[in-house]
């Protein structure tokens, strides 16, 4: 039986030197595996493309894994950028057996990709497998989650011990598991996907600019009968927030609000989305009263509840966007288009 082919997709947005570092780590992790590495520059317009191209011609040469660079026609966000690489397929045409999504600020250990591959090959019911992530200092990164819902909105917004204990089965972030296990969805910093599953359910929904795209993808896979697994012995160093600036948000950006609303309204309907917002606002007001009485520090970004209410009130009466779920072309379609 022929070795499975892996296409590693590495998305860059204005972090060229970090992307090159991630590419070096990915090439080491691809040693002994059959596949290719495609780097997608997500319309950075800051010299990233030229910097990465120069690195491919010098320090990223000599690997047994072919490397190529693609320029996205526009910055459509995380999902759209990764879709560019997935749709590109293999350099000689055709599709891989597996697609490995790697963030530009994530650096896999030597056996990290092989561990994910072995797990998927041993478990045909699994569509996606993701790695254990830790920071540069060894601190655990939360990367496993439950699907969000109305009760999880209450739990997260109330920030109250008795409520969290009552609703502990609905808390979205899971404690970092110490063993391989099934989860609802994974952070997409290091994730291996079956190409056959992507062919069946579609690629990332490009309506999401950033955030909730992995959640939506895993939900679609679950509804199609496929599981998502966290693989503890696949280890990746992850910095986190380098491209998005999430660590220093003073105000929640429009695209996060757009993504949250789209996730709920697309997958559960507008009424559910509105109820989820009302649940968050009610619990959030309770937290703010406690914060005022107990003189607790502010945690949410500035004006978060107001921004959430105004955004979702407007969204409730707008026409629903058509989900932009991209699909990979079949070999016949690829030949027709070329």
Q: Where do the DSSP E strands lie in 195-332?
A: 227-238
Cβ(160)–Cβ(287) below 8 Å: yes
Q: Can you tell me the distance from the alpha carbon of 337 to that of 321, in angstroms, rounded to the nearest whole number?
A: 27
Beta strands 185-186 and 126-134 are unpaired
| 241 band by pLDDT with thresholds 50, 70 and 90 | low
| 333 band by pLDDT with thresholds 50, 70 and 90 | very low
Cβ(128)–Cβ(193) below 8 Å: yes
Tell me: the pLDDT tens digits for 103-155?
999 999 999 999 999 999 999 999 999 999 999 999 999 999 999 999 999 99
How many structural domains are present in the chain?
2
The reported pLDDT for the residue numbered 206 is 98
Q: Can you tell me the distance from the alpha carbon of 320 to that of 46, in angstroms, rounded to the nearest whole number?
A: 34
Q: Is residue 175 part of a domain?
A: yes
CATH number assigned to the domain comprising residue 235? 3.90.550.10
161-198 burial by CB neighbour count: b if 16+ within 10 A, else e?
A: eebeeebeebbbeeebbeebeebbbbbbbbbbbbbebb
HEC string of 37-78? EEEEECCCCCCHHHHHHHHHHCCCCCCCCCEEEEECCCCCCH
42 and 164, same domain (yes or no): yes
Task: Give Cβ neighbours of residue 39 (< 8 Å, ≥ 6 apart).
Answer: 10, 11, 12, 19, 23, 52, 56, 67, 68, 69, 70, 85
14 and 77, same domain (yes or no): yes
The pLDDT mean for the chain works out to: 93
> What are the Cα distances from residue 5, in Å, to 34, 97, 124, 250?
5, 5, 16, 43
Q: Above pLDDT 90, what percent of the chain?
A: 89
Q: Can you tell me the distance from the alpha carbon of 26 to that of 20, in angstroms, rounded to the nearest whole number?
A: 10
Cβ(43)–Cβ(75) below 8 Å: yes
121 and 144, same domain (yes or no): yes
183 and 291, same domain (yes or no): no
Q: Is residue 249 part of a domain?
A: no
Does 250 have pLDDT greater than 50? yes
The residue segments making up the domain with residue 134 are 5-244+325-337
Does 99 have pLDDT greater than 50? yes
10 and 147, same domain (yes or no): yes
Give the mean pLDDT of 325-338.
51
| 331 band by pLDDT with thresholds 50, 70 and 90 | very low
The reported pLDDT for the residue numbered 325 is 77
26 and 150, same domain (yes or no): yes
The reported pLDDT for the residue numbered 335 is 39
Tell me: the pLDDT tens digits for 219-239?
999 999 999 999 999 999 999
Q: Which letter does DSSP use for residue 174 in this model?
A: P
Q: Above pLDDT 70, what percent of the chain?
A: 93
31 and 74, same domain (yes or no): yes
Task: Give Cβ neighbours of residue 25 (< 8 Å, ≥ 6 apart).
Answer: 107, 108
Tell me: the pLDDT tens digits for 257-314?
999 999 999 999 999 999 999 999 999 999 999 999 999 999 999 999 999 999 999 9
Does 246 have pLDDT greater than 70? no
258 and 109, same domain (yes or no): no
152 and 216, same domain (yes or no): yes
């Amino acid at each position: 039986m022929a070795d499975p082919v892996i296409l590693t997709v590495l998305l860059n947005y204005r972090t060229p030197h970090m992307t090159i570092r991630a590419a070096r780590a990915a090439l080491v992790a691809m040693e002994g595996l059959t596949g290719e590495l495609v780097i997608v520059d997500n319309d950075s317009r800051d010299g990233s493309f030229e910097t990465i191209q120069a690195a491919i011609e010098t320090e990223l040469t000599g690997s047994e894994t072919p490397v190529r660079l693609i320029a996205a026609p526009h910055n459509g966000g995380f999902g759209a950028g990764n879709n560019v690489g997935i749709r590109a397929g293999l350099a000689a045409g055709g599709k891989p057996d597996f697609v490995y999504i790697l963030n530009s600020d994530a650096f896999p250990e030597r056996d990290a990709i092989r561990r994910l591959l072995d797990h998927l090959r041993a478990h045909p019911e699994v569509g996606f497998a993701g790695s254990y992530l830790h920071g540069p200092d060894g601190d655990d990164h939360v990367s496993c989650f439950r699907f969000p819902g109305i009760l999880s909105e209450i739990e997260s917004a109330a920030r109250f011990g008795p409520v969290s204990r009552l609703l502990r089965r609905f808390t979205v972030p899971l404690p970092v598991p110490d063993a391989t296990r099934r989860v609802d969805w994974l952070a997409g910093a290091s994730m291996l996907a079956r190409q056959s599953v992507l062919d069946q359910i579609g690629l990332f929904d490009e309506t999401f600019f950033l955030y909730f795209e992995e959640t939506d993808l895993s939900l679609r896979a679950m509804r199609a009968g496929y599981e998502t697994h966290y693989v503890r012995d696949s280890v990746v160093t992850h910095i986190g927030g380098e491209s998005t600036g999430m660590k220093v948000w003073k105000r929640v950006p429009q695209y996060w609000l757009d993504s949250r609303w789209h996730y709920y309204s697309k997958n559960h309907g507008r009424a559910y989305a509105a109820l989820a917002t009302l649940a968050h606002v009610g619990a959030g007001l309770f937290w703010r009263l406690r914060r005022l009485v107990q003189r607790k520090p502010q945690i949410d970004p500035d004006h978060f509840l107001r921004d959430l209410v105004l955004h979702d009130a407007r969204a409730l009466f707008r026409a629903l966007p058509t989900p932009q779920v991209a699909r990979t072309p079949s070999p016949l379609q690829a030949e027709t288009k070329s």
